[in-house]
Amino acid sequence: MNLPMDLPSLKSERLYQKISSLLIALIEDGTYAPGQALPAERDLAKQLGVGRSSVREALIAMEIAGRVEIRTGTGVFVREPEAARAEPSGEAEFSAADLLSARALIEGKIAALAARHGTDKQRRALTRIIDKLETQSVHNAAFLDEDKRFHLHISDMTGNPVLTEVMTVLWNKRYSPMFTHLETFYADADIPIAMNADHRKIGEAILNRDARAAKNAMRAHLRNVHCRLFADETA
């Protein structure tokens, strides 16, 4: 039997996209009016039966689309309809949590290989990069440049150019609107200090040629980034 030609197309959506679609529908039917605050993340997560990280990413997607305004420390407020720029899109096709999970898996192995295969010259350069990173105390472009240098240098230390290319792709995905907006609204001011403590631990493990410790330190570092972006998730 032939199907009717006017069937709607089906979309494969990430959980945060489904949450944003639901909240937009509630805004459009008047449940939440312009200027009104949405329920707190904790309450939304409880009502929807989802994790707060997914709720936070849904709200970020809505902020990018001009549907809500996130006021740090105050709440998330519905914007006037004319402020909407577009429906939250799936352009990234991944969430920030997905990216950090993938990086932890891949970069943990990269750090282990760097500990085994890095040359003496590369180890000296890694020390200089960490020293330079520790002069950065503000979460800005200069800190991110040095942070990128650190991660890419470790991938170079594996001796495998394909892994360096993979690391470059992973790093560049952190410039997605979702990730940069999360950092803008939720990364604390002292994040460089905390991250540099992690960098030092990773570097020490690599310099000591301790592959296991390097892998664990890198994975712990990326878990810490996740905690910083999704603070109070379990509160």
pLDDT in tens, 176-228: 888 988 888 888 777 899 999 999 999 999 999 999 999 999 999 999 999 88
- The dihedral built from the CA positions of residue 26, 54, 196 and 155, taken in this order, carries a sign that is negative
- Would residue 235 count as lying in a domain? no
pLDDT band at 7 (very low <50, low <70, confident <90, very high): very low
The CA–CA distances, whole Å, from 47 to 25, 27, 70, 88 equal 16, 17, 20, 22
- Boundary of a domain, candidates 34, 53, 83: 83
- Which of 67-81, 92-106, 129-143, 203-217 tops mean pLDDT? 203-217
pLDDT at 234: 41
Q: Based on the domain organization, do 57 and 105 belong to the same domain?
A: no
- Boundary of a domain, candidates 40, 61, 83: 83
101: helix, strand or coil: helix
pLDDT in tens, 82-117: 777 655 554 556 788 889 999 999 999 999 999 999
Q: Based on the domain organization, do 106 and 197 belong to the same domain?
A: yes
Q: What's the chain's average pLDDT?
A: 88
- Would residue 224 count as lying in a domain? yes
pLDDT, average across residues 5-13? 50
- Would residue 234 count as lying in a domain? no
Beta bridge partners of residue 78, listed in sequence order? 68
CA angle (100 as vertex; 97, 103 as ends), nearest 5? 150
Place of tokens 């878990």: 223
Closest CA to 56 of 222, 173, 208, 183: 183
